[in-house]
Amino acid sequence: MKNPWRFFLLIEALLAILLLWQLASNTAVLVMFIFGVLNIYWALRKNRKRRFQLILGSVILALCLVNSPATWAMLIFGVSFIFLKGAEIAGVNFSSYFSKNKKAIIMVEAVEPTGHHGEKKKQNWMGSERIGNEIFEWDDINLSVFAGDTIIDLGNTLLPKEDNVVLIRKGFGRTRIIVPDGVGIMLEHASIYGKIEFDHEETLLKNESIKIYSEDYDQTPRRLKLVTNTLFGDVEVIRA
């Protein structure tokens, strides 16, 4: 987008609409919100401001807003955007973290496991990443991504006969996880707004969480636990 501020205002406007929808869907919060607005309005209309009404209305309004996940999403996106624009103005180069194609393809292969005590792995929080050009031992996956599409392909992996974990925390973007046949899957997902597709069934989440098990989860020796959290984005689990 040529004008990043237009993009910023567009996202903030969409989040504001989501905030209004969340307020309207909760009757108790909506009543308190209206009561707080009216208190502020009445306090400001008087010739002599009523400080108590103004403070009371402001506190009620703040409590209603912080109770909504959309408010936090607006704050997180706003702070992140301002940080990136500030870095750009300051001349900090983040080109190594960005690419035109924001799909992170992670190809995982496995060998016999060894110890991993104290091991650190560098993560790109935005942009493309590819792991698996060479064979390496399987280890549980733990990813944190701010924005972009992510693909995790376990098609060439022989998972150990135990519980294996994939943990993904993401702000915005789509996530696809390709799992080989014969592996039992447990998916636990939470999202402000997004769709999940699991075993050819689609479920829409609106500030909700869900836990789903594959039919063969208790019978298979190899099991995969997928724990995903996104602000806005879809999650798709594909059998290879």
| First-last CA distance in the chain | 36
Confidence of residue 118 (pLDDT cuts 50, 70, 90): low
Please spell the DSSP secondary structure of 180-236, one letter per residue. -TT-EEEEEEEEEEEEEEETTEEEEEEEEEEEEE-TTTTT-SSEEEEEEEEEE--EE
Highest average pLDDT, of 80-89, 104-113, 154-163, comes from: 154-163
| Interval 205-215 mean pLDDT | 91
| Interval 46-57 mean pLDDT | 74
Q: Per-residue pLDDT tens for 27-47? A: 888 888 888 888 888 888 765
Rounded distance, CA 19 to CA 29, Å? 12
| Interval 76-85 mean pLDDT | 82
- CB within 8 A of 133, min separation 6: which ones? 107
Q: What is the pLDDT of residue 114?
A: 53
Q: What is the pLDDT of residue 87?
A: 64
Specify the DSSP element, H or E, that contains 38. helix 27-45
| Interval 10-34 mean pLDDT | 86
Confidence of residue 11 (pLDDT cuts 50, 70, 90): confident
| Interval 130-148 mean pLDDT | 66
Q: What is the pLDDT of residue 205?
A: 92
Q: What is the pLDDT of residue 108?
A: 53
Q: Which of 169, 119, 104 shows the shortest CA–CA distance to 143?
A: 169
The length of the chain in residues reads 240
Confidence of residue 187 (pLDDT cuts 50, 70, 90): very high
- Share above pLDDT 70 across residues of the chain, in percent, rounded to a whole number: 74
How many other C-beta atoms lie within 10 A of the C-beta of residue 184?
19
Q: Which residue has the higher pLDDT, 11 or 157?
A: 11
- Share above pLDDT 90 across residues of the chain, in percent, rounded to a whole number: 15
How many other C-beta atoms lie within 10 A of the C-beta of residue 171?
20
Confidence of residue 227 (pLDDT cuts 50, 70, 90): very high
The helix-helix angle for 27-45 and 4-25 (nearest 10°) equals 110
Confidence of residue 130 (pLDDT cuts 50, 70, 90): very low
